[in-house]
Amino acid sequence: MHEFKVNDYITLKLESDKTIIYVAGERFRQCKQLILNISITEITELDEIKSIDEAIEKLGKEMEGITHNIPPEAEFWGHCSNLQVWYENNYDTKLLHSNLAFPLLKKLVDAGDPIARRIFKEEIIKRLGNGYPSVVEYLITEGFLDSVNREELLINVIIPEEAEVISELERITKSNFFLVSRLKDSELIEQTFSVRDNHIVELDIAWDESEPQDLPESLTRLKYLKTLYYSGVHVKKIPKIITRLKSLQNLKIFSEELEQIPIEIQYLTSLRTLLVAGGLLKSIPEAVSHLQSLESLAVVGTKVERLPESIEKIKSLKFLTLKNNQITEIPENIVKLKKLEILNISKNPITRLPESLILHETLKKLVISKERLNERITPILDELKKRDIKVLEV
């Protein structure tokens, strides 16, 4: 039986052709994966990779390991080498997959390893600050955040200037914000944020049942903010300060009482996704046509009756969702949206479709309600189907 001692706490043994890790003499875990199968041509693609986790996800699961071609003895010494390097680099968790690095580090803490005790919390904070989604998700779901108190989280995971913004938002909204791996569409009203390289990149501001207050001027300090969710039962308007977030790429508004979209929305020139869901909204302002980077526009559950004529100016638009509104007609100029791929007009009192839709060159999918089909609409749908465009009648 082969045996290799990394330090006073970690020993590896080859047992029945399997490499087993022992911590302080106690069996811990079998090693499963050894190397990444990386070709020379792919090396340059990994220049920005900051951890083994990112490398594995970048290359795909099929390239995680090729252990089936490696003799057990060679695989054993490979694992020994990896853990030796990990130890010599002060248990840097970027050098091992997170689902091994953190449980092993915690086991070493419990075993009394002074190095592990010193850097355990530091490693959690460091990886949370890096913000790689799968690692953050793992740390949250496996309970490693319990080792970091709220003050340490705000002070160390986010740069101080942006941590102050979160603190101010918590004061105004009277509720805490929680770190997540990434924002997800949900019916739950909750205050969350996600981080990448110690900067806030996603933020969900939710008012629940409370009356919305003015957002702080400090919000504009979030220079790296890419995604913002803004919601609340009593939200009637989109705060104008949101339109000053120049790096914003995704804006999603949820409110049953929303009445208007400000014309200042046009200043969000980096915006790629705009979702307005629910509310008393009656019109989409012409200002939306200035969003020349917009790829997805969704207006859902409103009182909007028509699209602005200027919508044809959004040359980058690929996805147009107009579900559950009061729209009766789709304008002829929809054909001028040269990149449009998906059009969802379900749950609208549609009475006619433009014949020009048949000539649309990029359209791949149309969603429409069955109950709205009539002699003016059905022939157009038939023609679309002949062109292999997917028509969903819901």
Q: Which of 27, 1, 14 is nearest to 79 (CA)?
A: 14
* Helix/strand/coil for 170: helix
Q: Which of 347, 341, 302 is nearest to 323 (CA)?
A: 347
Contact 310, 286 (CB under 8 A): yes
pLDDT reported for residue 54: 86
pLDDT reported for residue 66: 47
Contact 299, 319 (CB under 8 A): no
Distances (CA, A) of 192 to 135, 186, 222, 246: 17, 12, 15, 21
pLDDT per residue of the chain (394 residues) written in tens, 0 to 9: 799 999 999 999 999 999 999 999 999 999 887 655 544 445 445 456 778 888 777 766 544 444 457 889 999 999 999 999 999 999 999 999 999 999 999 999 999 999 999 999 999 999 999 999 999 999 999 999 999 998 999 999 999 999 999 999 999 999 999 999 999 875 556 799 999 999 999 999 999 888 899 999 999 999 999 999 999 989 999 999 999 999 999 999 999 999 999 999 999 999 999 999 988 999 999 999 999 999 999 999 999 999 998 999 999 999 999 999 999 999 999 999 999 999 999 999 999 899 989 989 999 999 999 987 888 899 999 999 999 999 999 9
As a whole number of angstroms, the distance between CA 330 and CA 311 comes to 11
Q: Which of 357, 353, 346 is nearest to 376 (CA)?
A: 353
pLDDT reported for residue 166: 97
Over 41-55, what HEC string results? Answer: HHHHHHCCCCCHHHH
Task: Map out the domains of the chain as residue ranges.
Answer: 3-148
pLDDT reported for residue 64: 46
Sign of the dihedral defined by the CA atoms of residues 172, 173, 175, 179, in that order: negative
Q: Which of 120, 152, 155, 112 is nearest to 139 (CA)?
A: 120
Q: Where are the alpha helices (DSSP H) in the chain?
A: 40-43, 52-59, 72-88, 98-110, 114-130, 133-141, 150-152, 160-173, 378-386
331-353 residues labelled b (16+ CB within 10 A) or e (exposed):
beebbebeebbbbbbbbbebeeb
As a whole number of angstroms, the distance between CA 380 and CA 133 comes to 44
Contact 330, 351 (CB under 8 A): no
